[in-house]
A and B are shown apart, each in its own frame.
Chain A
């Protein structure tokens, strides 16, 4: 019954607010109490005050205890428990299936994790220097007027640093001149150490944010200062205090240790450098550098800059673009106009990833491999997920009845979706745990393979977040299709026994198999081609004999004085069959010179030639092949201004008979040199590139040649010969440490990058193929299981094992053939592009594709046959009896 006068009521909005925030389990009592209190207050203090009091009470109840909902109803918890229990039972019932599923996924995830760590390491190269966003290296770009070829170079003249400070100082915080790093002999007291060091100007400690353990940011400021890394300090001084110890560099330069810095991260441009010394010290001790302090023509230094915090590298680069046109000495301004010289900054974040130049612009480099491996990683994960989806849908027939019954007793679709998703979550979680174990076990061999020092960042919160994201995404991705597919079955149909799978039910599964096999085949072809390319380059004739050839770089002036004595001793003792001297190692080019003329030269041709100075014994020592004319020889007393050219030079110069012609060097007072011989091309730089035209100049005074080459006597074992050479050297030059390298090893180093790539690629290809095989194996076993009855009946009616085997395998063979047709053009396209980046490269031959296709087919047939034959051999009684 309604009362005639409406009961006074509390403010509606306050009640609404209460109902909104209050937890459902509390609303009844709280609202009841509030209303009772409200009625009480009306009587006590009147309606208006009662309403105010009510509002105060409602607001007063906004407290955690009133808002907090019960976590979830008991019912839901039980459901999830049940989901996981059912999931677990399903896994443990089909052990084989679970093993394939979890194992495949785990391997896939481990691969992705490794690749992810690798990619992260590559991408974060140089990031350990706090200011890396503001640091850049200065480059000079110019266009050769004749060939219109644009080139960028980091080699710059010393006075440019001065101009930068004076005219462009407002842009930069630091400008440092750098000499490229190299090996130095550090003598401390009586002992000597070989360490990699770099001469650099003072600002670098602050610029590259070195963590100074001893000394300060200004430790490099005094001219004789050097600062050494922590591990170098340990290696040289042990427990002794390194500060203020004197060190002699290469027996020439005196230096004093002023600071110790924490080792720089390995993935940094300074990762291999063990000490830094003040550039001024080098200049004071090196005539060549001192003489060229203000010479714009000698370009043998690098310049690093750090822009001011509010100046971007791009802006600074733009501002200093025309430095050569505006600020170089007059003679160079004209040259700059002719060569269109401009100056630009290469930002530190790109140094590593974009280190390859095309037409004067950085376009590629490691970033190519980063992308390549990232894509491979994604594909491997895709393969693993595809396996999971494939196996789950293939098993749908078996679980169709379960779904039917669940639906019949009242399960709604969402619950079924939840069930299948939680099952996939369970599988992915197990796989993730196994993957983490696999990764931590395989990290050290992987580091060795990839030349990295990667660690699992267990203490990094982002790593765990990423793992979690990975877990969720993968379980959703791989569980989504089965979840929705299985939960959409109509209970009536499945319980009646008719198959829920329509005619096209197998289509998505087939597409998945095709994708999987295609990826594997592409990876397989890629690996073969990478190896072929390496093999091809390794088999390239190199123009000399590197067997038993060792190189001793001479740094010590005392050594230099007595090297001819050493040569004589080595030859006299029969340890060496030949000893020669040269200005640069056989496996490197240190000098490029231009400005030569010869008879019939195109006056516009402006190519430079590689130049190596050698003595008369050099050719015999490395055993180069003289094609025309003769080698240098002491028997010809006239051999003074003579030159031997290589085959490429002969071709480039276009001389029909080069012997007896002259090469004139205009820049050097028109000095003439007589060509006395042509030798076969010696590969000194990259084995993938064509050999540059080169000259070998005779230098009779061996004291100017700082590389000693020794051809060991092949009748003495290398180990014995080395120890004897060492004792000879120690006897004659006790001050210098015995340093040597094998030329064939140095040559082999040129292949390291590609070999590493090849090994990584083959590792991932093998894993990808392994994962696909697991998938095919699982799939074929389910198909065989589905067809158990059919096989039984066929057998009873007289089908042979071979017929049954063919029947079961035919499907897969067709799919593999289809995949090959997809994989071949894709891989052809990418690999021809990859090979084009090498001047000297192999051709892709058809048999590689044929072989990979056959390989994939063979692997598939073997994998599938295992199940097919097992099913075909089974006794039909067993399969037909069970119902």
Chain B
């Protein structure tokens, strides 16, 4: 099956969107990535990745409710689509399969 190409960072963002369930929006995703992976990411990178993911049909978005922290502005809430989920699962399977094929001396590294 032909699969849409997914970059490493996009995969990360997609995973975080899936993880945050119905509370995934720009700032939150950025903070979550920073917290969970110790990577310093910038807001605009995340936004760009979200755009690409939405173009690829991996996530959906809708405007949320206005909140006072944001000067009354609404957030755009992202949710993962079934296609996105399938893609993640498939990637994981492929990786696991490849890990299994590694020579035993290497397997220790990945655990």
Residues of A within 8 A of B (CB): 28-37, 39-40, 56-57, 60-61, 63, 65-66
B44 proximal to A (CB < 8 A): yes
- Residue among A29, A35, A56 with most chain B CB within 10 A: A29
Closest 8 CB pairs of A and B: A32-B73, A60-B44, A33-B26, A32-B70, A29-B76, A61-B44, A65-B51, A36-B27
Q: Please report the C-alpha to C-alpha distance between residue A56 and residue B43 in the assembled complex, in whole angstroms.
A: 10
With A37-B27, A57-B43, A60-B43 already in contact, the answer to whether A32 and B71 are too (CB < 8 A) is: yes
Number of interface residues of B (CB under 8 A): 21
Give Cα distance in the complex from A35 to B71, angstroms.
8
- Within 8 Å by CB of A57, from B44, B71, B73, lies B44
- B17 CB to closest chain A CB (Å) equals 15
Do A33 and B27 form a contact, CB below 8 Å, given A57-B43, A63-B44?
A: yes
Instruction: List 12 additional contacts besides A32-B71, A60-B43; criterion CB under 8 Å.
Output: A28-B73, A29-B26, A29-B63, A29-B75, A32-B75, A36-B27, A37-B43, A39-B69, A57-B42, A63-B44, A65-B52, A66-B44
- Tell which of B31, B48, B73 touches A35, judged by Cβ atoms closer than 8 Å: B73
Given A29-B26, A29-B63, A29-B74, answer yes or no on A36-B47 (Cβ-Cβ < 8 Å).
no
The majority secondary structure among interface residues of chain B is helix
Interface residues of B in 33-58 (CB under 8 A from A): 42-45, 47-48, 51-52
Chain B residues, Cβ within 8 Å of A35: 69-71, 73
CA distance A296 to B30 in the complex (A): 94
Docked CA distance A128–B70 (Å): 68
Residues of B within 8 A of A33 (CB): 25-27, 43, 47, 70, 75
Q: How far is the CA of A56 from the CA of B42 in the complex (A)?
A: 9
B44 and A40 form a contact (CB under 8 A): no
The residues of A that contact B51 with a CB separation of less than 8 Å are 65
Task: Give CA–CA (A35, B43) in the complex, Å.
Answer: 11
Given contacts A36-B27, A37-B27, contact A60 B74 (CB under 8 A): no
22 contacts between A and B (CB under 8 A): A28-B63, A28-B74, A29-B63, A29-B76, A30-B26, A30-B47, A31-B73, A32-B73, A32-B74, A33-B26, A33-B75, A34-B43, A35-B69, A35-B70, A35-B71, A36-B27, A56-B42, A57-B42, A57-B44, A61-B43, A63-B48, A65-B48
B66 nearest in chain A by CB position: A32
Task: Across the interface, name the chain A residue whose C-beta is closest to B49.
Answer: A65
**Chain A residues with Cβ under 8 A from B47's Cβ?**
30, 33, 61, 65-66
- Of residues A31, A36, A60, A63, which shows the largest number of chain B Cβ atoms within 10 Å of its Cβ? A36
| Interface residue ranges, B against A (CB under 8 Å) | 25-27, 30-31, 42-45, 47-48, 51-52, 63, 69-71, 73-76
Q: Give Cα A674–Cα B70 distance, bound, in whole angstroms.
A: 119
B72's nearest neighbour on chain A, judged by CB, is A32
Q: What residues of A have a CB within 8 angstroms of the CB of B76 in the complex?
A: 29
Chain B residues positioned under 8 Å from A57 (CB to CB): 42-44
Shortest A691–chain B CB gap in Å is 85
- In the complex, what's the smallest C-beta–C-beta distance from B27 to chain A, in angstroms? 5
Instruction: Collect the chain B residues with CB atoms within 8 Å of residue A29's CB.
Output: 25-26, 63, 73-76
B25, B27, B63, B76 pick with most chain A CB within 10 angstroms: B27
A40 & B48 in contact (Cβ 8 Å cutoff): no
CB nearest neighbor in B for A63: B48
Residue of chain B at shortest CB distance from A57: B43
When distances are taken between beta carbons in the complex, the residues of chain B under 8 Å from A31 are 71, 73
A32 CB contacts on chain B under 8 angstroms = 70-71, 73-75
Minimum CB distance partner of B55 in chain A: A65
Residue in chain B with minimal CB distance to A59: B44
> Cβ of A60: which chain B residues have Cβ within 8 Å of it?
42-45
Shortest Cβ distance from B50 into chain A, in angstroms?
Answer: 9
Q: Which of B31, B44, B48, B74 lies at the interface centre, i.e. has the most chain A CB atoms within 10 A of its CB?
A: B44
CA distance A35 to B75 in the complex (A): 11
Report the separation of the CA atoms of residues A32 and B52 in the bound assembly, to the nearest whole angstrom. Answer: 20
Task: Judge whether B30 and A37 touch: CB under 8 Å.
Answer: yes
> Complex formed: what's the CA distance from A242 to B7 in Å?
64
Separation of A39 and B42 alpha carbons in the complex (Å): 15
Task: Provide the bound-state CA to CA distance between A30 and B25, in Å.
Answer: 10
CA distance A31 to B52 in the complex (A): 19
Contact of B69 among A28, A36, A66 (CB under 8 A): A36
List the A residue with the shortest CB-CB distance to B29.
Answer: A33
Cα(A590)–Cα(B25), bound, Å: 96
Minimum distance in angstroms from A66 CB to a CB of chain B: 7
CA distance A368 to B20 in the complex (A): 81
Given contacts A29-B75, A29-B76, A65-B51, contact A36 B70 (CB under 8 A): yes
Chain B residues with CB under 8 A of A28:
63, 73-74
A37 to B52, CA, bound (A): 22
**Which residues of the other chain, A, contact B74 by a CB distance below 8 angstroms?**
28-29, 32
* In the complex, chain A residues whose CB is within 8 Å of the CB of B71: 31-32, 35
Give the docked Cα–Cα distance between A61 and B50 (Å).
Answer: 13
By a CB distance below 8 angstroms, the chain A residues around B52 are 65
Q: Give chain A residues whose Cβ lies under 8 Å from the Cβ of B45.
A: 60
Q: Which residues of B are found within 8 Å of A34, using beta-carbon distances?
A: 43
Give the distance to chain B from A300, nearest Cβ to Cβ, in Å: 79
B27 CB contacts on chain A under 8 angstroms: 33, 36-37, 40
Measured in the bound complex, the distance between the Cα atoms of B75 and A36 in whole Å is: 10
Closest Cβ of chain B to A788, distance in Å, is: 60
Residues of chain B within 8 A of A65, CB atoms compared:
47-48, 51-52
Q: How far is the CA of A34 from the CA of B42 in the complex (A)?
A: 11
CA distance A60 to B48 in the complex (A): 10
Q: CB-nearest residue of chain A relative to B74?
A: A28
Give complex CA distance A33, B76 in Å. 9
Complex CA gap A785/B13 in Å reads 70
Question: What is the chain A residue whose CB lies nearest that of B69?
Answer: A36
Q: Across the interface, name the chain B residue whose C-beta is closest to A68.
A: B51
Determine the distance from Cα of A61 to Cα of B30 in the docked complex, in whole angstroms. Answer: 14
Q: A35 vs B73: C-alpha distance in the bound complex, in angstroms?
A: 10
Cα–Cα, bound, A34→B27 (Å): 8
Q: Output the least CB separation between A682 and chain B (Å).
A: 87
Chain A residue with minimal CB distance to B76? A29
The answer for the CA separation of A30 and B48 in the assembled complex, in Å, is 11
Chain B residues near A30: list those with CB within 8 A. 26, 47
CA distance A659 to B40 in the complex (A): 118
